[in-house]
Amino acid sequence: MSDAGPTSNVDPMNDVSPVNDVGPAADVGRWFSTAAPVADPSGRRGAPRLPAWGPMESSDYGLQSPPSELDAARDLLRGRPVAVLTGAGMSTGSGLPDYRGRDAVPRSPMTYQEFMGHDLARRRYWARSTVGWEQFNRARPGHAHQRLATLGRTLFTTTAVITQNVDGLHQAAGSSPVLDLHGRLDRVRCQSCDTLSSRAALHARMLSMNPELAARLPDLAADAAQAPDGDAEVDRTSSFRYPPCPLCGGILKPDVVFFGESARPEVVAAAFAALEQAQALLVLGSSLTVQSGLRFVRAAGRQHKTVVILNDGPTRADPDATMRLHGRLEDVLERWDALS
């Protein structure tokens, strides 16, 4: 992926201090939740709603694989080129809630078509993310990110960390190379001229356009963190103002893949190339519910590569794994690190 264009010379993501020093991060998933039903002033009905996401029904949460299985999986990976696929479970230790874990909050995701086709959907998204942005931007790499970066130097050779997360925490922890399969939340992309710009700069602009919200930002952020539905008061901010692209007047959208939208083909191609170069695929913290991640497990199977899946809870690819491990990512990766 290309760089995010003109940004500040100070990158807060370079700070790898433990996340507990700054408190829990924002629940980014709620920024992408749809409102139901939405009708814009022109009288059009809202876009079709997707089924609500939430915890998968299973008794597999909280299981722990025995040490002998953890050590056998480590030996399968030792000294080999490995492609790593990560999901939301990787960042729960950084305070970022997941989508399918045992404690996930059910939500109906906003689609690309809804965001692009409805002004009220865009107001809803930008109002929510403006309230949560500074909180989210304080998230720092957790122990799982840090351990993985170390293991990529000591236990195996990483052909790429292919992440479905949009938080940039793998890069901040020192993993390399990292492929942001679903984009980066700290960037904004114009949907007309394709220009990338800084989310931090847009945040400052939207605060200046919405002074009443800016004045109440700390209180709104606290309410959003405590309310059962995350940010009920923010949802009533239908008057929230957001700017167009300063270059062409087009619609600005976070540079992440929405539901109903495809990942950028050059990133997908790079991810498949990294898998081709690897002898094994290691999946960490992903339920593999969506095809975007599952396809790499299926491709690894067709190529007769070793597939190790570590996740707390069920995954859609459990039958496809060479070894299926259960447990907390931090604990398992720490064990591998200590024994590598």
Residue of 143, 145, 182, 203 with catalytic role: 182
Place of tokens 């814009």: 40
- Per DSSP (E only), the strands in 31-88 are 81-86
Query: Is 18 strand, coil or helix?
Result: coil
Closest CA to 224 of 105, 55, 140: 105
d(Cα 273, Cα 314) in Å, to the nearest integer?
A: 27
Catalytic status, residue 118: no
Closest CA to 327 of 109, 69, 3: 69
User: How many Å is the maximal CA-CA distance in the chain?
Assistant: 63
Note whether 286 and 75 are within 8 A (CB).
no
Amino acid at 81: P
206 phi, psi to nearest 5 deg = -70, -30
Residues that are catalytic:
182
